Structure 1
Amino acid sequence: MQRITTRYSSSPRHVDGATTDELRSQFLIESLFAEGEFRGSYIHDDRMLVAGAVPGDDDLVPSGFEVLGTESLLEHREAGIINLGGPGSVVVDGTAHDLDNFDTIYVGRGSEIAVRGKGARFYLVSALAHTTYPTRVILRSEVEPVVISDDRGAGARRLYRVIWGGGEPTCQLQMGFTVLEPHSVWNTLPPHLHPRRTEVYLYTDVPADARVMHFMGEPSNTRHLVVADGEAVIAPAWSIHMGAGTAPYSFVWAMAGENTDYGDTSGVPVTELR
């Protein structure tokens, strides 16, 4: 089964006077993961597509994308796929690539994909591509994390960059994940903007009785979303993004847009938030 929704571009004015339901409808992607289904959202900001794919007993093969105007998902696109569940495989052009928890595969434009492995939980992010780069597997065990210490606050974390401008080439996709240290709650502090890119946060490993308070909006006009496990938040170029959890959690970050310069950000001091 396959289901793709559409999220149209938004402006800062979308948050002025918006109700909680209106904010969630515009910026929060819910119910991405269901066994035997490929569920996603096509985001008009930078033409990103994010999806959850949970295979059952049989291979799950995404095909027929009316929203893209193509039969194949990656006819004009590249993708990063990360496994957030038990062991599974991503099949690319007939070749199976095994992925354990937090292992990632980059798939170049023009490939056909399927996923398999009951108990696996795949999260896919796709962006438009102007050329084809080779498929490659990035194992968590082979990635040296960026260790971010925070002796003063509660934001110590390990940041894993798996698809990014400092590694193997991509057209525009960047992707990675961040794991918070014990007793830390903040995932990105201070917050920042990406004036030339769109970013999506997918929260994972959030206990069923916990939530993440995700902050968004312009620095001078902030709002928040209450986010559960397996839910994603769209951060347009004009919106900050940061969050604090009520229990330990991790999140997957992904970007697409003007460039693949990981450092192309605009920091926002906490003292400027309103």
Structure 2
Amino acid sequence: MQNRYASHPKEVKAFDTARLREEFLLETLFAEDELTLYYTHVDRFIIGGALPVKGNVKLAADAASIGAATFLERREIGIINVGGQGTVTVDGEAYPMDTKDCLYIGRGARDVLFSSSDSSEPAKFYFNSTPAHTSYPTVKAAISEAAPNHLGSPATSNERTIYKYIHTGGIQSCQLVMGMTLLKTGSIWNTMPCHTHNRRSEVYFYFDMTADSTVFHFMGEPQETRHLVVRNEQGVISPSWSIHSGAGTGSYTFIWGMAGENQTFEDMDPVAMSELK
């Protein structure tokens, strides 16, 4: 498990490209038959991926990092499959997962296994995990069951649909909020006009990109913006003081996860376009 520490915005102003990527970019999230984990001290998020090909991959605890006997002893997790068909087995109960299906598992589950239906087209399980103070039931939701929110327009190149999976009006959780944004063909911008939310941090995961496509992900304080070049199946940690927006050279989809003071999706601090620098 890799550690990522909280950074002060005044400090980040002096970061060069290499340091920005080291602190905020999640460059590799899938390795064959392995569990990939990043622990960020920003709201104690754990971000990770499981790519089962030849066999099962177990959601195992890193006791040195989380001080628990099992991964979900004091945590909850949201999982979205971005690959082929697979299964997540939770304490002996199997949950088949098609692409873009979401599974929430509450605090206290002990044994979680990831598997693929076809090794030639394996499942790719991306997940966000946050601390939890109580237990909620395990719930699966297909994208057709998620709450859609249509935003943007072709005129501003940001026509998109936000699908909410884990939120106050959907799958219940302690603090994790999670969903997915699909852009219409020809739209390249996400989350623009941008915002911050000083009471919550956020993590983005970009996927469904071609090998030669990139997303220029913008971060930083509104008056001191920076960017990261992000490629397929990479993620970005966004602290509460930072904007989080991006523009792609081709089509893409992204998963967002939030945690912090509240679960109110609309709790944002809008940034006027005229304020950006």
TM-score, structure 1 length as denominator? 0.97
Structure 2 CA distance for aligned equivalents of residues 142 and 165 of structure 1? 14
**TM-superposed deviation, 1:266:** 0.6
Deviation per residue, 1:112-152 (Å, 9 max, x gap): 21100131000010000000000000111222421113142
Aligned-residue Cα RMSD (Å) equals: 1.0
For 2:198, the equivalent position in structure 1 comes to 195
Q: Is residue 114 from structure 1 mapped to residue 113 from structure 2 by the alignment? A: yes
Query: Within the alignment, does 1:19 sit opposite 2:16 as a pair?
Result: yes
State the match for 1:97 in structure 2. Answer: 95
User: What is the CA deviation profile of residues 209-232 of structure 1, one whole-angstrom value per residue up to 9, with x for unaligned ones?
Assistant: 010000000001000000001111
Give the Cα–Cα distance (whole angstroms) in 1 for the partners of residues 205 and 52 of structure 2: 19
Deviation digits for residues 138-190 of structure 1 (CA, Å, limit 9, x no counterpart): 11122242111314210001110000122232100000000100000001111
Structure 2 residue 226 is the aligned partner of structure 1 residue 227 = no
Aligned residues: 271
Q: Distance in 1 between matches of 2:80 and 2:50?
A: 10
> TM-score, normalising length from structure 2?
0.96
User: 1:47 maps to what in 2?
Assistant: 44
For 2:152 and 2:239, the matched residues in 1 are separated by 27
In structure 2, distance between residues paired with 1:80 and 1:168: 10
Q: Which residue of 1 aligns with 2:164?
A: 161
**Unaligned segments of structure 1, at least 5 residues:** none
Q: Per the alignment, in what secondary structure is the counterpart of residue 45 of structure 1?
A: coil
Q: Any conservation in 1 of the 2:136–2:173 contact (CA below 8 Å)?
A: yes
Instruction: Tell me the equivalent position of 2:127.
Output: 124
SS in 2 for 1:14: helix
CA deviations on 1:177-205 (whole Å, 9 max, x unpaired) are 00100000001111110111110000011
Q: Which residue of 2 aligns with 1:63?
A: 60
SS in structure 1 opposite 2:18?
helix
Instruction: Look up the match of 2:85.
Output: 87
Q: Is the 8 A contact 1:217 1:239 kept in 2?
A: yes
SS at match of 2:150: strand
